[in-house]
Amino acid sequence: MTDDETLKLQHALNKYEPKDVYSSLDALDGRLTRGPKMSAVALGPSVGGGEPGALIYELDEGRVRLRVTVADISGAFYEELEMPAANLEDLVAAMLATLEREKSAKAP
């Protein structure tokens, strides 16, 4: 996966509100976020701050991490998933489909 492809996926997620992006992970109900290839590696309060939204960054050996940070009235929190780079596009596509369905459901 190239840097441009990674940035494109990150920008696609960041067109939505961070809380909605975070909720889209829950809506997947573990279908893509559990198993030996993908795992939640960190979650909790965001002590060091960080911009709300999605951040995708590459690790060594063909792996990437997706971090979603949300800020609300009580502070900021995040969840971070690690996966093979090849799985990132499928995960983001599923998240975007969920976000679009939710957006359509809220439309008048």
Residue owning tokens 């030996």: 36
Q: What is the pLDDT of residues 46-57, one digit of tens each?
A: 776 668 999 999
Q: What is the pLDDT of residues 56-85, one digit of tens each?
A: 999 988 899 999 999 888 888 888 999 999
Other Cβ atoms within 10 Å of 67 Cβ, number: 19
Give the DSSP H/E element, type plus range, for residue 54.
strand 53-58
CA nearest 21: which of 104, 107, 92?
92
Whole-model pTM: value is 0.85
